[in-house]
Amino acid sequence: MANVMSYNIAGSGPMGYGIPSHAAVALDSAYLYDTTGDAIALRFMLPAAKTLVAIHYRITARTGAPGAIQWSVRVAGTSVAKPGAYAQDLGATDAVGTDAPSAVTPALWRTITLTGDDRVACPAGVNFLCMGNTDGVDPTLNHVTVMTKFRPSASMQSALDAIADSTNGFNTGNSAYIPAGIVAEFSDGTAVGGPYVAVATTASSQNQRGLKCQFDVDTVLLGIGANAGGADISTINVYADGNNPDGTKVLSEATSQQLGELVFKHAFAAPPTLLAGGIYRIVLDYSGNATYPSVITMGAGTVPDGVKACRHMHNSNW
């Protein structure tokens, strides 16, 4: 079987459908918070306070010799669309650090590892991980372009792990319910953000396609939905264990998919319970050649472990 995407978050959300879209921002103007400059932010929500230990962001292009990229963690300001004051427990760096990606070769993941007082205690609730160009070099000639928006669907969005961007240093807020190419990694091993930054359509064939998943709690699988692209999906199989779909078959149901139907959805007649810690594969069989669902990836190049830890996506193709 080909085209497997893994995640380990129960209730990870609906599969996206539609044409994937990308966006990036060139940090080519001097950033000063609440005043001026291009800036981007990962907006994320925490159920409890966590300590930020690493930041990962996806660079898509480099112009000249970029200087320092400033990052800061801020809580929600006058609205949930606008970064406000610095996060609590500021530490010696006042919750601000810098990264100098002058020698990077795009596209790649850039990692900022935080140690000691540079680590930030992010409070429960809405947080913003902000980035902007603060170096003294001419930012119009020396800057990086950072992926800000990646979504496999123009019609399905998520209020979690979203993007905020600005051309005036967040003097005004501008947020979208779209994952950013930024990941925040915490001391407890968890991560939030948008780890998926690339998409590809598979070759036209009758190959099985599916989702590998592992849940933290016992989970009843009521059904699935995905971008079918008009494919003729005939059967859904759920397998337990095994490196390929050759383990124990938990469920097999014929679908009611109609040829030409773009959005595939199926509710199971006998919903199976997927046990916590078990590895399962939800596999689609086809009656004819197909190129959908699409495949999303964490991009070319080395993928940091912290990005791999953020395997969920609230609106994802597979």
| Domain locations in the chain as residue ranges | 22-198, 202-293
Signed CA dihedral, 156, 162, 164, 165: sign only: negative
Which backbone phi and psi does 75 adopt, to 5 degrees? -90, 175
- Mean pLDDT value across residues 222-250: 78
Closest CA to 128 of 90, 177, 81: 81
CATH-assigned architecture of domain 202-293: Sandwich (2.60)
Report the pLDDT value the prediction gives residue 11, as an integer from 0 to 100.
32
287, 207 Cβ separation under 8 angstroms: no
Question: Amino acid letter at 65?
Answer: A
- In the chain, % of residues over pLDDT 70: 70
- Mean pLDDT value across residues 68-86: 79
- Mean pLDDT value across residues 88-110: 59
Confidence of residue 53 (pLDDT cuts 50, 70, 90): very high
Report the pLDDT value the prediction gives residue 50, as an integer from 0 to 100.
92
Of 1-10, 65-74, 111-120, 123-132, minimum mean pLDDT range: 1-10
Give 219's contacts (C-beta < 8 A, 6+ positions apart): 10, 11, 273, 274, 276
Beta bridge partners of 26: 145
**pLDDT of 217 higher than 80:** yes
Of 186-200, 203-217, 248-262, minimum mean pLDDT range: 248-262
Report the pLDDT value the prediction gives residue 85, as an integer from 0 to 100.
78
Report the pLDDT value the prediction gives residue 273, as an integer from 0 to 100.
92
**pLDDT of 95 higher than 50:** no
